[in-house]
Structure 1
Amino acid sequence: MISRQIAGELTATAAEFPVVTIIGPRQAGKTTLARMHFPGHAYANLEAPDARQLAMSDPHAFFSQFPPPVIVDEIQRVPELLSVIQVLADSSRERGQFILTGSHQLRLQEAVSQSLAGRTALLRLLPLSISELETAGIRCTRDEYIHQGFMPRLYDENVDPTRLYRSYCQTYIERDIRQMINIRRLTDFEHFMRLLAGRVGQVLNLHALAGDLGVSSTTLKEWLSVLEASHAVFRLNPYFENFGKRIIKSPKIYFTDVGLASYLLGIESPEQAARDPLIGNLFENMVVIEALKNRLNAGKEPELYFYRDNRGDEVDLLFRRNRQLVPIEIKSAMTFNMEFVKGISRFRKIASNARKGYVVYAGDLTPDLPDARVVRFTEVDTIFKDSAS
């Protein structure tokens, strides 16, 4: 079993709060993480009909059968249980008594904010990171990572990526989506996901997508919020503080697992990934999400943005720390080119609070230049270690 970097944060929060809530996409490893770290806790899965029915009909009987300390899986299925957890947590001074997991961010966060405000720590777990895999002795090429993604089952059980993501999409769309919103034609939602996969790393234009799909942009906003709420995609917002009206203010969208994006694009092998016209976009997706994982695994807010203005100046990723900005350019090429640094150099002239940046690419040469340090894509975590100093 591959060790997770968020484990230290889980241990720390369980020692400080009576309740710890772990949210994230399906199959990211939330249950495995909780059960490995708290082997002495009782365990209840609210996906199981009998456990869910008992929790809904008689919460006190439920906690008699599954007394704290307890792990409650998929808590969003019975949000009414949270008010009972509040009472039980308040009646005891014990920490780490309730470990909750959930896959639907909006529904769960609304319920948590009402019932468990100040009583729970909230951790967000995404699929495996490159750093976690390399620590476990697993090393893949750029194209292998892009094709297969980072779901734990791929590495723990050697599951075929295409079969895994096909099953994932069927489960996600046919069950989870139906629970969250009323969609008359699920094929339209599937088509929307495929169109989004073809636009990762691009500034989002819902009006154009609405025209392609024949669905209103208002409906697409709702669908996008569902994808975000279930942690399937991540919205990267532009940074426009102090730059005036010339800045692009629409977000970019990335899939929280690049393997899902590749599946939606019909990529069935690493060789096909290497030849795909969107290899640069998919590589950017992978690196942006690696940065996001690094922040979330440390229990931090992402503080990640991008910069683009109407003159075409752009920085793929900005990391804000202590009012300073770290510009990061992302290139899928395996050969370094000084052109990679130009966007960072221009941005440092525009932004007085911009620090020396980074170029993340797929090659081996890693020079240290005046405006940027060059790192391999497998070393994204070093950016945040350096920025902490």
Structure 2
Amino acid sequence: MFVKRQISNIIKAQQSKFPILAVTGPRQSGKTTMLKELFEEYRYVSLENPDMRFFASEDPNGFLNEYSEKVILDEIQTVPQLFSYLQTKVDENKKMGQYILSGSQNFSLINKITQTLAGRVALFKLLPLDFEELKTENLLAESYQETIFKGFYPAIFDREIDPNIFYANYLQTYVEKDVTEILNVRDLTTFRTFLGLCAARAGQLLNISGLANDCNISQPTAKAWLSILESSYIIFKLHPFHENFNKRLVKSPKLYFNDTGLLSHLLGIRAASEINTNRLKGNLFENLILAELQKKNYHQYLHSNYYFWQDSNANEVDILTKNNEDFKISEIKATETITATLFKQLDRFEEIAKPAKVKKTLIYGGLNSQKRSRYEIVSWKDISL
């Protein structure tokens, strides 16, 4: 089964405009499958292959002479010295669409692109499947509980793998292996504890001091581990909106996971039905919505900025975007029943933000979207940026 990715047409359109295209994203998100399908005429080279990696490392000029154009170079970050040679190669040839690069380590890849390939590369991010991609193949579950639990990695749908089995292996094979190698983590038990503590804080304000204390590690270590988890596309942060409405505002970001299936696994959830009684049900639903917006933003190449807003008086909105002087705000609630109390925080923000115009949206766990005179009510299955 091949699910057409939303970003594929956008990537293809840049083939004639840049000498290099680069796609990053977590392992198993479907980068290789998409690129092979999109660029069938290109040769494919995996630099995780020891022989290819040795060739590229020891003789970069010879390697690039052998693979001179129309080549997909996968896991390019494993041979960092190759970037400078690529710069020289594309500057000499001036051919568009000469190389397609992909990598699962965002920190290494972005760093090298910034240093050596700026202006020569179009950069894209491919995260696990989004709602629209699943809908095209009738793969999106009817309940948000099943959607959260199953997660969004293509292999789960392609090979019908039990999420419990997939995520147990994903953690051991990719997350722990990659992250511990980068950080030289000797105590794997402590790192697993750290991951679990991050999961328990999904949808909450990030308190690095508290996280470090609970894990019995130093704050610099906690910061370093968070940074690598973020650059490996395991977690992401949602930052607060700082405009002051004569209130003291929260300055800490919120922590979320890019995939709710992995998050559920880390929380010990082993069946979709367990989500209904889990104390973090609301956090899981909120994470589902924020992760979907994150994927839409990257897959549709929108470059939108969204935030949350919270002040010291417990006034808050879950999602905020600003266009000129107007606001669009959303409240996220897992309930499937609409009541008047769900709109309270939206109304409070509108009052605080006067005279600015405020568009108010409730995203909820039900299936029926509707437009009211003062609010838009959106099913979790119908959300958009």
Partner of 2:286: 284
Task: Give CA-to-partner distance per residue, 1:192-241, whole Å, 9 cap, x none.
Answer: 11111111111111211222111112211111001011111011011112
Question: Structure 1 residue aligned with 2:262, among 260, 263, 270?
Answer: 260
Q: In the alignment, does 2:367 pair up with 1:361? A: no
Q: Look up the match of 1:28.
A: 29
Match of 2:78 in 1: 77
Find the counterpart in structure 2 of residue 387 from structure 1: none
Q: CA deviation at 1:92?
A: 2.3
The corresponding residue for 1:197 is 199
> 1:325-365 CA distances to partner (integer Å, 9 max, x unpaired)?
31111111111122222211211222244531211111134
Q: C-alpha distance in 2, partners of 1:78/1:323?
A: 47
- How far apart, CA to CA, are the structure 2 residues paired with 1:372 and 1:59? 59
Q: Residues 51 and 324 from structure 1, CA distance in 2 versus in 1: closer, same or farther, beyond 3 angstroms?
A: farther
Q: Secondary structure at the match of 1:123?
A: strand
TM superposition score normalised by structure 1:
0.94
Q: Calculate the aligned-residue CA RMSD, in Å.
A: 1.5
**Residues 18, 213 of structure 1: CA spacing in aligned structure 2 closer, same or farther, 3 A cutoff?**
same
User: For 1:375, which of 364, 375, 378 is the aligned residue?
Assistant: 378
Superposed structure 1 runs of 4+ greater than 4 Å apart: none
User: Contact conserved, 2:369 with 2:382, CA < 8 A, in 1?
Assistant: no
Q: 1:242 Cα deviation (Å)?
A: 3.4
Partner of 2:349: 347
Distance 1:176 1:273, change over 3 A: same
Q: Which residue is equivalent to 2:276?
A: 274
Q: For 1:1-389, what aligned pairs fall within 5 Å after superposition?
A: 1-140=2-141, 141-243=143-245, 246-322=248-324, 324-351=326-353, 352-381=355-384, 384=385
Deviation at residue 103 of structure 1 after TM alignment: 1.3
Partner amino acid, structure 2, of 1:203: L
Q: In 1, distance between residues paired with 2:318 and 2:18?
A: 37
Distance of 2:128 and 2:330 partners within structure 1: 22
Q: Assess if the C-alpha contact under 8 Å between 2:319 and 2:330 holds in 1.
A: yes
C-alpha contact (below 8 Å) 2:76/2:103 kept by paired residues = yes
Q: CA deviation at 1:323?
A: 5.4
State the TM-score, normalizing by the size of structure 2.
0.95
2-side partners of 1:260 and 1:322: how far apart? Answer: 37
CA deviation after TM superposition for structure 1 residue 244, in Å = 5.4
SS at match of 1:91: helix
Aligned 8 A contact 2:336 2:364 in 1: yes
**98 and 243 in structure 1: CA distance in 2 versus 1, 3 angstrom threshold:** farther
- The residue type paired with residue 22 of structure 2 is T
Which SS does the other structure have where 1:303 is aligned? coil
Identity %: 39
Residues 43, 71 of structure 2: 8 Å contact kept: yes
Q: When the two structures are aligned, how many residues end up with a matched partner? A: 382
Distance 1:13 1:54 in 2: 29
Q: Structure 1 counterpart of 2:31, which letter? A: K
Question: Residue type matched to 1:233 in 2?
Answer: I
Judge which range, 44-53 or 342-351, deviates more: 342-351
Pair 291,314 (structure 1): closer, same or farther in 2 beyond 3 Å: same
Q: Secondary structure at the match of 2:203?
A: coil
In structure 2, runs of 5+ residues without a counterpart are: none
Aligned partners of 1:356 and 1:370 also within 8 Å: no
Question: Structure 1 243/49 Cα, relative in aligned 2: closer, same or farther at 3 Å?
Answer: farther
Counterpart secondary structure, 2:350: helix
Contact 1:46 1:78 (C-alpha < 8 Å) held by counterparts:
yes
